[in-house]
């Protein structure tokens, strides 16, 4: 079955097509959920919620642009919407205008190790770090998505980097 047929069948509510869509994209979307979640269990819940949203909104997909990009965006938005509702994303009052360069400071760390350190970050720092460093969002886009100011986004990113650097130093891993 082609991707177009699969999407059309999902739009009609075909359970087998939905199952196939899940099998085709679950691993990719789970990776996204995992980097935005505190742990595997939370990531699994976020993946489930994301697929429910995808199934609900698949009728809005107009075959313009990448379908994979479309479902990735839905996944990120579904996870962020969950965190926006929680109190710990509220605005930080200080404003950091200078931010350290990312360069290659995280390249010497094994990806699973870095991911575990990122998952340990407080939610507001983890989300900002992931969006800015890993997904390439601008501070303006982050502030719009999380309902904060650009200054708060910059501050949260700076604090996330500081916490990660301290965690890495604690484990005696050399970084730039």
89-170, what's its fold?
Arc Repressor Mutant, subunit A (1.10.10)
Q: Which residues contact 7 (CB under 8 A, 6 or more apart)?
A: 21, 58, 61, 63, 67
Q: What are the structural domain ranges in the chain?
A: 3-85, 89-170
Q: What is the pLDDT of residues 100-129, one digit of tens each?
A: 333 345 546 677 888 888 989 998 899 999
Which is it for the CA torsion 119, 124, 127, 128, positive or negative?
A: negative
pTM of the full structure: 0.67
Whole-number pLDDT of residue 52: 96
Is CATH 1.10.1740.10 the right assignment for the domain spanning 3-85?
yes
What confidence score (pLDDT) does residue 1 get?
84
Length of the chain (residues):
176
Q: Which residue has the higher pLDDT, 30 or 96?
A: 30
Q: What is the pLDDT of residues 36-56, one digit of tens each?
A: 888 899 999 999 999 999 999
Query: Which residue from 164, 132, 162 is spatially nearest to 150, judged by alpha carbons?
Result: 132
């Amino acid at each position: 079955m082609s991707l177009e047929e699969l999407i059309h069948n999902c739009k009609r509510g075909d359970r087998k097509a939905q199952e196939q869509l899940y099998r085709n994209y679950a691993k990719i979307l789970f990776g996204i959920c995992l980097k935005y979640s505190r742990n595997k269990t939370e990531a699994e819940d976020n993946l489930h919620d994301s697929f429910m949203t995808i199934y609900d909104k698949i009728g809005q997909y107009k075959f313009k642009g990448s379908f994979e990009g479309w479902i990735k965006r839905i996944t990120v938005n579904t996870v962020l919407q969950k965190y926006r509702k929680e109190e710990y994303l509220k605005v930080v009052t200080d404003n950091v205008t200078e931010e350290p360069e990312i360069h290659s400071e995280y390249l010497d760390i094994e990806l699973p190790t870095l991911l575990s350190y990122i998952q340990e970050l407080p939610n507001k720092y983890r989300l900002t770090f992931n969006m800015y460093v890993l997904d390439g969002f601008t501070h303006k886009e982050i502030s719009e998505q999380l309902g904060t100011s650009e200054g708060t986004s910059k501050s949260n990113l700076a604090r996330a980097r500081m916490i990660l650097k301290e965690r890495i130093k604690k484990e005696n891993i050399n970084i730039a």
